[in-house]
Chain A
Amino acid sequence: MREKLKAARSKAEITLLQEDPSPRPRRLKSIRERKTEGRLDKESDNKFGKMREDESHLPSKIKFRDSVKKLKQKSTFQNDFPSAEEAYNFFTFNFDPEPESIKAGSRKRNKLNEEQETEEDCVETHEDEQEEDETDEDVCLVKGDDLFIIGQAAEDFLVMKPADCESYSEQLKKEKEFLFTPSMRAVPTSEKMPGNMQPRYLEDEGLYTGERPFVSQSNQNILENRILRQEQGKEWFGDDGKILALPNPIKQSSTRPPVFSLEEGIAPELETVYRKAIKMTAANQYLVGPGDFQGPFQLDIDISGLIFSHHPCFSREHVLAAKLAQLYDQYLARKQKNLTKLLTDKLHALRNAVQYSIDSGGDGVPRPVAQQSIPEYKIEIRQTRRLRDAEQEKDRMLLKTIIKVWKQIKSLRDFQKFTNTPMKLYLRKEEVDQKLDEKTYEAEIQAEITELLEECMEEYEKKMEEYKTELQEWKSWKKIQKSKKKKKKKGTHEEEESVEDCDLGEERVKPIPPKMVSSLEIEQQVREKAENCRRKPGVPALIPELVLSGSITPTELCPRAEVLRREDVKKRSAFIKVLFNSKEVSRTVTRPISSDFRVHFGQIFNLQIFNWPESLKLQIYETMGMSSTTLLAEVFIPVPETTILTGSAPMEEIEFSSNQRVTLDHEGVGSGASFSFEADGSNKMTLMTSGKVSNSVSWAVGEKGIPLIPPVSQQNTGIPSALKNIDAIASIGTSGLTDMKKLAKWAAEAKLDPNDPNNAALMQLVMVATSGEAHIPDFFRLEQLQQEFNFVSDEEFNRSKRFRLLQLRSGEVAEFRNYKQVPLHEREISEKIFQDYEKRLKERDVIDSKNYLDAHRAVVANYLQKVRESVINRFLIAKRHFLLSDLVNEEEIPSLGILGLGLFKLAEPKRPLKPRRKERKKVTAQNLSDGDIKLLVNVVRAYDIPVRKPVLSKLHQPSKSSRSFNEMFAASPSAQSPTDSPDWAFNQVLVRPFVEVSFQRTVCRTTTAEGPNPNWNEELELPFRAPNGDYSPHSLQSVKDEVFINVFDEVLHDAVEDDLERGSGIRTRVERHWLGCVKMPFTTIYFQARIDGTFKVDIPPVLLGYSKEKNLGIERGYDSVRNLSEGSYITLFITIEPQLIPGESVREKMNEMLKKFDTQEDEKLLQAAEKYEAECTSKFPSRQCLTTVIDLNGKTVFITRYIKPLNPPQELLDAVPNSSQTAAELVARYVALIPFLPDSVSFAGICDLWSTSDQFLYLLAGDEEEHAVLLCNYFLGMGKKAWLIIGNAIPEGSTAYVLTLEQSQYVIWNPSTGCFYGQYDTFCPLQNVYCLISCDNIWFNMQEYDSPVRINFDISKPKLWKSFFSRSLPYPGLCSVQPEELVYRHSDKAAAVELQGRIEKILKDKIMEWRPRHLTRWNRYCTSTLRNFLPLLEQNQGKDVEDDHQAELQKQLGEYRVSGFPIHMPFSEVRPLIEAVHSTGVHTIDVFNVEFALAVYIHAYPQNVLSVWIYVASLVRNR
């Protein structure tokens, strides 16, 4: 504590002393003057003094300490400024000079120095409390103290002085000395160049200079200016007057190709890459599979010690001693073998044998065998003798060297005057009997002489013979030679030849006759040799004996070099690492190397092994002192054979040597360094570190005496010879050993003896393998311990229904997504749960032609299902991707406009005359449950409902003229003037319609109104149930239910059969006749929040018994308002209560994600598109701007690429060769006949995938966009001016329509129905127009209104239509994604007929099925009549045939009341057809004598587009 205090104080002083003498303008200096430098000391001292007075008072002490602390802090950190209280004191205190108090102060100071120490001790004792009680109160008290102190001592250290102030200009001047501001102006080249040099531009001279890295010019100038200020600054500039710079290292193109991620959300670098599994090398082979673990296998490695035969620390004596020891070991080994004796004995035996056979031969009895063997014996004797001689010589030499080395040691010891090794050699003399010895010696020599003589004789004879033959040859040659010479003399011309002959002939020398070897000579030789290699007779035999009993000179007596050496040795120690399969498994303790260079370990390591023992290695390490560890050598130990078990294993010594190179500065000879024993340094020798490790390796024996040997330990390389002939590795290879089957096969083929203990392990293994209990898995397991942690096995896991259920649920499989309460027990889960799911899985790949009746459509449906699944999977990923707005509700920052509006609102009248509609509160779909949501349908009114026709009305033929567009759109009621006389219309109720709304099997109906233009104005409320009770936006988006709004006519029939009863009461039967319907998908309502409009009622082209009454007087008022159009209309208002927030964010996110996918578009184009979109949406946020779409492959494609003139089917064009308008209608109808598949349902409102027209025609399914694109392309192909409209329509919502320009009039086509509307048609379903797209441009609607009625379609006006490609961004000529030409398959009439029959049968069956309690009679006659109508209907596209039918039927079925209608549908599958028939409710009629008629007609268009007509009718016999 005290030290700290002192330190702080001294620090404070230093800082005060070091205060910058240069004036600082803003400093308040009045208090801290130079003279008060010591003030702090004094001040604190004073405080100590003050505190002393109330020493007994504990809290004050604490305060005091705090004040000290504060002061310390102040003194160290705040010494520039006065603290608040100081400042206060300074300004408020009255500084009266009082000399007395100064004195008192100084006195106190003196006292204090003595007492300070005791003070501080006190402080220490209260340390703990001080830390805790540091509260504000105390601080206040401290302030009081300070005041008090200063009041007492202020005079001591306060001196008045005016504040130092420096003028600004002076300051600037000073600053100028230090500061330099580099100018940003360019430096003239002359300054940068050394004097009088012209800049030289290398580039101009044609040399390569490279591109300089970009640095902004101003920065460059600054740098140049800065450099120039330095000395030698010019060195930085090159010849051209620019700063030297290397060329720009940044490459323009990236070296690495860009990596595109397949999966979103994963950075490409982190993506997993599939690699084919590679079989591991033998290093990782497991003995057994983890499953069938047979118990641990154990290797015992006993490392007993280490002996160095050479070590860098060996002294010369050690070297010799080691040599001696080696020699002695050799000697002992030889002695043990005693080869000499063995050979001598053998020689004797052979000689005896020869002697014996000669002797027995001498008996006269011929012994041919013995005779024959004599020469063999002799040869043997000769060899044995030679060997014996060699051995003897070696023995002798060894002895000699031993003695020589010993002598060297002795001389060395004498020389160096100390002994290092305990070695001593004794030579024991073995006295021999001289006479006997001499005798045997002589006998030996004699025997040898005789033998040699014999040998020589034999040789001589052999040579003689050779000589003779050679002589003979020579003689004959000589003769020839002579004759040749004669010839030569005959003619010179032959000379050359003969010379050649001479040359060719061998230069024959006359053979020399062999000399006879004299016996003396031989004797001489023998004796000489005996002298050399044999002990002289009588000389005692010398037996060397090496003992370690010698004494070593104590270190004190040794010279310095030797002492150093010994110390060095002491420092050294060694240890051994055991490496199993080149992995370190254990290591011995580090033991010091003893003075005789032996290290004793005596450690046994038990290795439990799991891997094949492949290599066993010991690494010998030497450590020097504390630090360095060096690897001396590695020793490989053979893996023991299976027979070697612990206890029986012999200790083995394995030699090692190191190539280490060490030179030492003491007596040690070093290693790898040459040294010499001689004084003159000659006879140099170099020794390397080497030694022996004694160890033993064996297989452990288990508790019950079972050897812990792995089953196939034949693996090891040291295969016992016994197994060599049946070597498994040789026959099936090493890898085969791990393959049990191969091994077993081999074992069977090799016919191993099962009883052979050598094969026991193998046989056991083979048995296990073949019995199938164990197998080695043929796979590579990444996490081999995984199995340990599995709490059940995989099979069990798969078998468990519960786990499966849980797994499927967490995988969000549609069927199980919201499954609640998975039962705890297996038995409680019924198999049925999975049935649907499994069925679906099965059906995915199996094409079910029953449902589709058409193989092609089945294939397509499958394909679409797959696309859908992949999209949904992407969507699920996207769903996991949260945005902040998903989690946190945060208010937008109010913009100025909103704020202003808010202010404006304040001034608004409280009760406005024209109240605004208040927005309903939106509800997030989080805590909703069944019954909370209701669908409200307000049926307002309907127009032009078909009216009943009097049964016997007269025939009338409407004027059927092909009307032109102009006619149609012209509001000309006169064109279709009523042909009927209106009289009956007034007399009779025309129709009593009511509306029935059905949704999710709930049905609601309105009251019955009257007349063809009824007004209901009724609100119907239908409950809504989300699938699986899941009210999340995602789930709501995928609701597939539709709202059916059916219009019926209520017909009252007099049910009284009997005329007699007529008077007493009225009994009527109510019948209802279906007139038409409007379908509205729930998703449309969900996304649109409310649907308000007038919709065309889908009325069949022919309604038997009804007719469309037009232009009747009743509705005259409306005529002027609306254009005349065909069909009936109904005004509806549909909404959901409460209002749900559509999950748009998910859709946007998905689109964002999809945009990140691949694209082949130019980056610049995409950027421009983004910019364009942003611009457009900023102006009109509600209008959708579409520039890029996603194709079926998930690639982003610029939208104009989809628009391209394409050829419609030639058949359609041929049908109406001259009228382009009819052709257009026909084409539109053809397009409409392609089945409709809304993306919003199939892809859960996530994204729009656009398929090209050929894909669309192949798939035969698509949504509005595809229809529109195809239709637009056809129109273009037909030479019309056509555009794609992106807009909003009822009921589809956001959709695509087609706009054509026909004779200066714009026509809007609905591609999914084939209908067309004039621009000013109020019943046009298209409500808003957002943008127009052609094949080369996009125009965004910039007009105030977007309703087609109110806008101008003239795209040439840039103020009204903002075009994407303009003068600033010209159209780059994007190639189309559409094919060059569409190829159509011809319509298959036969297939259509077949399909027609099948559908008819199915439908008839269905109708009978729906009437289970009634007899269903089919009127064949009517059916055939209807069947005849249908092709006609197709031909006329369902127009203007109604009356023909009526008449025809009337004619044929006069006695029946017929009600029925044809249904027309595009064909996709059977189910919708059945639904359509069912929804009309024809079957519900329950008159007892009702008959039915049903006919189906299918017209095939090219490319298998089928138009289906179903005519259903019910017939009741009139009476």
Chain B
Amino acid sequence: MAAAGSPSVFLLAVTGQIESGQFPGFDDLYCKFCFVYGQDWVPTAGLEEGISQITSKSEVAPTTLVWNFPIDITFKSTNPSGWPQIVVSVYGPDFFGNDVVRGYGAVHVPFTPGRHTRTIAMFVPESTSRLQKFTSWFTGRRPEFTDPKVVAQGEGREVTRVRSQGFVTISFNVVTKDMKKLGYDVSPSDMQNPSLVPVTEGIHKY
């Protein structure tokens, strides 16, 4: 729409990074991310999917895996339904050196403008039986979701069993445009400035 007064879409710009992960007992992990969004959302700029470098744990105390993998994407949308979610999946070698999944997790992109830190608890699907578990461990082919995007939707989840496994911390910088003009007021009324959460807060939580 040309007229500045009446926009027909609102924009959501998300930058940030997949900062670090905590996977006790695992090392040399890398992560993939992708965005899941509703039908009324269109990414206009930036990367929808990405795959990070492999990172190893440091030898000394805070044994987190730091990726600091940047996210930068802009969406345009006409409907807050189907708000984008980031789906993160972490992979790494197992005992035999096979690449196996170490965790899936998803979180909605924060909808208030500002800086946010999110820590996602990660999980992996469980094997259906002990024997399966053993063979999957042995062969290095552990159960995986057919599509990592499964973790961003609720449908059909009841048939799966998962085990939680580590955390991933993501920081988001969110900028929105024209939301309020279109009648979507997302900021709390008592908040004048967007919250500036210190980066370290998320880490200290866990």
In the complex, whether A882 has a CB less than 8 A from a CB of chain B is yes
Instruction: Kindly identify, within residues 131 to 158 of chain B, every residue whose CB is under 8 Å from any CB belonging to chain A.
Output: 131-132, 135-136, 139, 141, 143-147, 149-150, 155-158
The size class of the interface chain B forms with chain A is 35 or more
Are A890 and B39 in contact (CB-based, < 8 A)?
A: no
Closest to A809 in B: B39
Chain A residues near B10: list those with CB within 8 A: 824
Chain A residue nearest to B7 (CB atoms) is: A824
B63 at interface by CB-CB < 8 Å: no
CB closest residue in chain A, given B146 = A889
A886 to B41, alpha carbons, bound, how many Å?
26
Could you give 30 example pairs across A and B, Cβ below 8 Å? A806-B81, A809-B39, A821-B40, A821-B77, A822-B39, A822-B79, A824-B9, A824-B10, A824-B182, A825-B6, A825-B8, A880-B155, A882-B156, A884-B128, A884-B160, A886-B146, A887-B150, A888-B144, A888-B145, A889-B143, A889-B146, A890-B125, A890-B132, A890-B136, A890-B143, A891-B132, A891-B136, A891-B139, A924-B146, A924-B147
- Asked if A499 is at the interface of the complex by the 8 Å CB criterion, the answer is no
Contact check: which of A884, A894, A924 meets B159 at CB < 8 Å?
A884
One of A809, A828, A891, A926 near B147 (C-beta < 8 A): A926
Complex: how many Å from CA A821 to CA B132?
43
Asked if A887 contacts B39 (CB within 8 A), the reply is: no
Query: What is the chain A residue whose CB lies nearest that of B10?
Result: A824
Q: A891 and B141 in contact (CB under 8 A), knowing A822-B78, A882-B156, A886-B146?
A: yes
| 0/1 interface trace, chain B 46-57, chain A, CB 8 Å (1 if under) | 000000000000
CB distance from A921 to the nearest CB of B (A): 15
Tell me which residues across on chain B come within 8 A of A806, comparing CB atoms: 79, 81
Q: Which 10 pairs of residues, A with B, have the shortest CB-CB distance?
A: A882-B156, A890-B143, A824-B78, A891-B141, A888-B125, A884-B159, A888-B143, A889-B144, A821-B40, A882-B159
Is B64 part of the contact surface with A, judged by Cβ < 8 Å?
A: no
A542 to B96, CA, bound (A): 121
Contact B146 A821 (CB under 8 A): no
A873 in the interface, Cβ–Cβ < 8 Å? no
Shortest B23–chain A CB gap in Å is 20
A820 at the A/B interface (Cβ < 8 Å)? yes
Report if A887-B159 is in contact (Cβ < 8 Å); known contacts: A806-B79, A823-B78: yes
| A1258 in the interface (beta carbon within 8 A) | no
Given A818-B39, A820-B42, A887-B79 contact (CB < 8 Å): no
Q: Restricting to A802-823, which residues have a CB under 8 Å from any CB of B?
A: 806, 809, 818-823
Q: How far is the CA of A823 from the CA of B40 in the complex (A)?
A: 8
Q: Which residue of A lies closest to B156 (CB)?
A: A882
Q: Is B127 located at the chain interface by the 8 A CB criterion?
A: yes
- Docked-complex contact A887 and B8, CB < 8 angstroms: no
Cα–Cα distance between A884 and B144 once the two chains are bound (Å)? 11
Q: Does A266 contact B (CB under 8 A)?
A: no
A75 CB to closest chain B CB, in angstroms? 35
Among B77, B131, B136, B147, the one with the most A-chain Cβ atoms within 10 Å of its Cβ is: B147
State the Cβ distance, B148 to closest chain A Cβ, in Å. 10
Query: For the side of the interface on A, what is the size category?
Result: 20 to 34
B67 → chain A closest CB, angstroms? 23
Interface string of A870-896 (1 = CB under 8 A from B): 000000000010111011111101100
Q: Which residues of A contact B149 (CB under 8 A)?
A: 926
Q: Is the CB of A886 within 8 A of B156?
A: yes
- Contact status of A894 and B144, CB under 8 A, knowing A820-B40, A880-B155: no
Can you add 6 more A-B contacts, CB < 8 Å, to A889-B144, A894-B135, A894-B139?
A820-B42, A821-B78, A884-B159, A887-B150, A887-B156, A890-B128
Chain A interface SS verdict (over half): loop
Measured CB to CB, the nearest residue on chain A to B139 is A891
With A882-B156, A883-B159 known to touch, is A888 a contact of B146 (CB < 8 Å)? yes
Q: For residues 765 through 785 of chain A, which have their beta carbon under 8 Å from a beta carbon of chain B?
A: none
Chain A residues positioned under 8 Å from B131 (CB to CB): 893
Tell me how far the C-beta of A886 lies from the nearest C-beta in chain B, rounded to whole angstroms: 6
B-chain residues with CB within 8 Å of residue A809 when the two chains form the complex: 39
* Residue pair B39, A820 in contact (C-beta under 8 Å): yes
Contacts known (A823-B8, A824-B182); A887 close to B160, Cβ less than 8 A: yes
Give the complex CA separation of A1150 and B42 in angstroms. 33
Cα distance A821–B41 in the bound complex, in angstroms: 6
Which residues of A have CB within 8 Å of B81? 806
B150 touches A828 (CB 8 A): no
CB distance from A933 to the nearest CB of B (A): 18
| Chain A residues in 8 Å Cβ range of B139 | 891, 894
Closest to B42 in A: A821
Contact B8 A828 (CB under 8 A): yes
Least CB distance from B101 to A in Å reads 10
Q: Which B residue's beta carbon lies closest to that of A885?
A: B146
Residues from chain A with Cβ under 8 Å of B143 in the complex:
888-891
A824 touches B79 (CB 8 A): yes
Q: Does B8 lie within 8 Å of A890, measured CB to CB?
A: no
Residue of A nearest to B41 (CB): A821
A953 to B61, CA, bound (A): 99
Kindly list chain A residues whose C-beta atoms are within 8 Å of the C-beta of B145.
887-889
Chain B residues with CB under 8 Å of A888's CB are: 125, 143-146, 160
> What are the interface flags for B150-189 relative to A under an 8 Å C-beta threshold, 1 for contact and 0 otherwise?
1000011111100000000000000000000010000000
Assembly CA distance A824 to B125 (angstroms) = 39
Interfacial chain B residues near A924, Cβ < 8 Å? 146-147
What residue of chain A has the Cβ atom nearest to residue B9's Cβ?
Answer: A824
Q: Which residues of B contact A883 (CB under 8 A)?
A: 159
Bound-state Cα–Cα, A1190 to B105, Å: 42
- The smallest beta-carbon distance between A792 and chain B, in angstroms, is 13
Interface residues of A in 926-981 (CB under 8 A from B): 926
* B8-44 near A? 1/0 per residue, CB < 8 Å: 1110000000000000000000000000000111100
Within 8 A of B (CB), among A822-852: 822-825, 828
**Closest CB-CB distance, A758 to chain B, in whole Å?**
51
B48 to chain A minimum Cβ distance, whole angstroms, is 10
State A806–B41 Cα separation when bound (angstroms): 14
B127 proximity list for chain A (CB < 8 A): 890
In the bound complex, how far is the Cα of B146 from the Cα of A924, in angstroms?
Answer: 9
Q: Which residues of A contact B160 (CB under 8 A)?
A: 884, 887-888
Q: How far is the CA of A926 from the CA of B36 in the complex (A)?
A: 13
- A1313-1371 residues at the B interface, CB under 8 angstroms: none
Closest to A819 in B: B39
* Complex contacts, A926 vs chain B, CB 8 Å: 146-147, 149
Which of B9, B144, B159 lies at the interface centre, i.e. has the most chain A CB atoms within 10 A of its CB?
B159
The answer, among B9, B136, B157, B182, for a CB contact under 8 Å with A887, is B157
